[in-house]
A and B are shown apart, each in its own frame.
Chain A
Amino acid sequence: EIVLTQSPDTLSLSPGERATLSCRATESISLNYLAWFQQKPGQAPRLLVHGATRRATGIPDRFSGSGSGTDFTLTITKVEPDDFAVYYCQHYGTSLPFTFGPGTKLNLK
């Protein structure tokens, strides 16, 4: 099973600042099949990025994904008030089970 760890646990920022969220896997993720989700309180997760770098439909370009192998990053260039939420990474592809990281909570400073 691929285990994903995320850092930091909590990130406190002001609107307009840059957010950098990290996701690390215990083994290399084939084809960089790594996704990022955003979840707001009381809502379902929303797909932001897949294939490590591809934004999902309708996702603003201030969200970008990078990385390969075992180390991945989600960057929000200028955080907006609507971005304060919990962010999860997830691996997918042929290796079951699909697993999620524990999440990074982006807080308003």
Chain B
Amino acid sequence: QVQLVESGGGVFQPGRSLRLSCAASGFGFNSHAMHWVRQAPGKGLLWVALIWDDGNKKRYAASVEGRFTISRDNSKSTLSLEIDGLRAEDAAVYYCVRDKSRTAAGLLDSWGRGTLVTVSS
């Protein structure tokens, strides 16, 4: 059974840096691309970043490029998202999402429960 468990959310001040993590289990982690998708409170879904199965290719939404870094450790089946220079508009639930393919076709077939990032001074 696929399980994706996010952690690292909380209340952070604007400008801070933080790291979100996702522990994956129940499937061959190194055979799937992975994504982060976020959802601001009461709003819709926004794709944030993706990483290929081997970690060699990464892509970002324009709104986060240069501030967010996606990474993975296939030996530990973990996915991470580093956020630098936190902004008010980054406040959201961040979901760890599995791609059905190795090469990030974007078919998002399994989702974690999400971790909430709140931005407050």
Q: Hey, which bits of chain A sit against chain B, CB under 8 A?
A: 33, 35, 37, 43-47, 50, 56, 88, 90-94, 96-103
Contact = CB atoms under 8 A, between A and B. Distances in A.
Determine the main DSSP class of A at the interface with B.
Answer: loop
Closest 10 CB pairs of A and B: A92-B106, A44-B111, A100-B45, A98-B47, A98-B106, A102-B44, A97-B61, A47-B109, A92-B107, A103-B44
B106 to A, nearest CB: 3
Contacts, number: 57
Interface string B41-56: 0001111001000000
Given A45-B45, A97-B61, A100-B47, A90 B105 contact: no
Contacts of A99: 47
Given A45-B111, A92-B107, A97-B62, 17 more contacts: A43-B113, A44-B111, A44-B113, A45-B45, A47-B107, A47-B110, A50-B109, A88-B45, A90-B45, A90-B108, A92-B106, A93-B106, A98-B35, A98-B50, A101-B44, A102-B44, A103-B45
Nearest to A42: B113
Contacts of B61: 97
Contacts of A44: 95, 111-114
Interface string B85-121: 0000000000100001000011111111110000000
